[in-house]
């Protein structure tokens, strides 16, 4: 013990005399020094679905270019050329560790009325625009506004089929059941809602019952304001249609619904 104390004192004296401690000597004197982490890196937890440290996040300019190639924005740009609208692209929210997504605001400035804004979300790792389009709004390959015959061509005949009065829609509807999947037809015989609570029936982009809230956010971005326990996403090319995700107590998905506007 005495020899170690003498050795430490000698090292300290040598360092003070020269004004310099080498890295090995520094480690020897203060072995518990804090490890520094470079800025700009994400500490990934695989179960959280966050970007790994090796993944580079795209820039604001790249995110804007991704949005400009999105069909809804391309259409918006064509319309703006015709009616004299000025489009301004701004970042409403930058990526964070918990939410690695660019949220971009497109302001439409009209010559004779107040500006209008549209919001688009871009995955900061892949550059994919996360806003839903109508073609993606399907469960087990079946979507909205199609006939009963078209549904049965994909899913086959239902296990059960009932006619009930829907108070929200204020009309009598038909409900066809397929092992945890319910397909609802309006009075005209076209699908207006599909609801699933069975992981055998994948929803838009492959989301399914049992997936986590974090996985849903990575697939679709930040949801619109909704009651606690729900994530709601509107469809970009049909603002009346929506994807509704219901979460359980453990923030796992327990139900997925796609529905047309009422």
Q: What is the pLDDT of residues 187-213, one digit of tens each?
A: 999 999 999 999 999 999 999 999 999
Q: Quick one: 74 and 106 in the same domain?
A: yes
Would the pLDDT of 183 be above 60? yes
Q: Quick one: 116 and 181 in the same domain?
A: no
Task: Please state, in angstroms and rounded to a whole number, the distance separating the CA atoms of residues 149 and 190.
Answer: 10
Pull the structure tokens for residue 245.
């995700």
Would the pLDDT of 27 be above 50? no
- The H or E element containing residue 217 is helix 213-220
**Count of alpha carbons within 13 Å of 258, Cβ hemisphere only?**
27
Q: Quick one: 81 and 173 in the same domain?
A: no
Residue 78 has what pLDDT?
86
Q: Quick one: 121 and 228 in the same domain?
A: no
The average pLDDT across 84-92 equals 89
Residue 137 has what pLDDT?
96
In the listed set 130, 153, 173, which residue is the last one of a domain according to the structure? 130
Share of the chain above pLDDT 90, in %: 57
Q: What is the 3-state secondary structure (H, E, C) of 220-246?
A: HCCCECCCCCEEEEEECCEEEEEEEEE
Domain span at residue 6 reads: 1-36
Q: How many domains does the chain have?
A: 3
pLDDT higher at 81 or 17: 81
Of 54-68, 77-91, 171-185, highest mean pLDDT: 171-185
Q: Quick one: 169 and 54 in the same domain?
A: no
Q: Quick one: 98 and 50 in the same domain?
A: yes
């Amino acid at each position: 013990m005495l020899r170690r104390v003498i050795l430490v004192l000698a090292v300290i004296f040598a360092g003070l005399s020269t004004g310099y401690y080498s890295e090995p000597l520094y480690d020897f004197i203060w072995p518990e020094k804090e490890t520094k982490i470079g800025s700009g890196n994400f500490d990934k937890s695989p179960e959280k679905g966050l970007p790994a440290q090796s993944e580079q996040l795209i820039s604001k300019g790249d995110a804007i270019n991704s949005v400009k190639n999105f069909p809804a924005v391309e259409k918006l740009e064509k319309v703006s050329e015709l009616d004299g609208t000025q489009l301004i692209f701004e970042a409403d929210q930058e990526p964070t560790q918990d939410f690695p997504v660019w949220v971009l605001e497109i302001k439409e400035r009209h010559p004779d009325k107040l500006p209008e804004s549209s919001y688009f979300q871009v995955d900061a790792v892949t550059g994919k625009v996360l806003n839903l389009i109508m073609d993606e709004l399907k469960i087990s390959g079946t979507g909205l506004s199609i006939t009963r015959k078209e549904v049965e061509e994909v899913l086959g005949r239902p296990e059960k089929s009932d006619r009930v009065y829907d108070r929200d829609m204020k009309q009598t509807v038909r409900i066809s059941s397929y092992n945890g999947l319910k397909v609802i037809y309006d009075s005209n015989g076209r699908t207006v809602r599909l609801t699933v609570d069975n992981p055998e029936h994948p929803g838009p982009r492959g989301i399914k019952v049992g997936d986590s809230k974090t996985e849903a956010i990575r697939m679709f971005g930040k949801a619109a304001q909704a009651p606690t326990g729900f994530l709601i996403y509107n469809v970009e090319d049909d603002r009346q249609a929506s994807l509704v995700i219901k979460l359980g107590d453990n923030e796992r998905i327990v139900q997925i619904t796609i529905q047309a506007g009422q």
